[in-house]
A and B are shown apart, each in its own frame.
Chain A
Amino acid sequence: TQLLEQSPQFLSIQEGENLTVYCNSSSVFSSLQWYRQEPGEGPVLLVTVVTGGEVKKLKRLTFQFGDARKDSSLHITAAQPGDTGLYLCACRVSNDYKLSFGAGTTVTVRA
């Protein structure tokens, strides 16, 4: 059983459309991170959220941490083909320095 559940598993949209990816758990986290992984490469950190209710923006990407620090979402506005990739969420539980990853959402943006 994975600590983090990501949905949907796959998402295919047309360029210009919006999309949202979810990361959920029954556990409370001290922090949650979002990574993007392109084919043939390692994951790259996009953002870290720490405070319940926190919202962070990275250009067209908006990240939100749930009030109870058990869930998070990633919203992409006006998606572009360059947004294509595997989006992974990862968490650290209290007093633990190890990162646990969700299974990921594969996003494909068609031109």
Chain B
Amino acid sequence: NAGVTQTPKFQVLKTGQSMTLQCAQDMNHEYMSWYRQDPGMGLRLIHYSVGAGITDQGEVPNGYNVSRSTTEDFPLRLLSAAPSQTSVYFCASRIFGTSVTDTQYFGPGTRLTVL
């Protein structure tokens, strides 16, 4: 199993450009989510999905779109990049169930810089 994979590893954008961060998992997990990590602020939830065709907003969704057409893939789209979106982005997945002990698996991250 590859687990959770993310591409690209690094990206530099100019203000106003758009791009898609890719995320895929091969563990057949229903629940997938996107976080951004900024110094001193921990991981903040951007969007999440509990299954194909179902998405919802997290704590900091503005400026980002998501879709979930398959169980495996959960891309994150930046519509018009802004310097405030400079961050490290992590995708995560886990089984969607009622157990509070379910393990959440993270990808290696995408480091994004917006100039």
Interface residues of A (CB under 8 A from B): 2, 4, 6, 9, 30-31, 33, 40-45, 48, 50, 88, 90, 92, 97-104
Contacts and interface: CB of A to CB of B under 8 A. Distances in A.
B9 to A, nearest CB: 9
B109 A103 contact: no
Q: Do most interface residues of chain B lie in helix, strand or loop, or is the interface mixed?
A: strand
Contact of B100 (A6, A9, A31, A43): A31
A43 B109 CA distance: 10
A97 B43 contact: no
Contact of B103 (A30, A45, A104): A45
A103 B58 contact: no
B31 A97 contact: yes
Interface in B49-75: 50, 58
B34 interface: no
A103 B100 contact: no
Contacts of B43: 43, 88, 90, 101
B109 A41 contact: yes
B58 A42 contact: no
Interface of B: 4, 31, 33, 35, 40-45, 48, 50, 58, 90, 92, 96, 100-101, 103-109
A64 B104 CA distance: 20
A42 B109 contact: yes
Nearest to A102: B42
A2 B50 CA distance: 24
A102 to B, nearest CB: 5
Contacts of A102: 42
A21 B43 CA distance: 18
Contacts of B96: 97
A30 B100 contact: yes
B100 A42 contact: no
A109 to B, nearest CB: 21
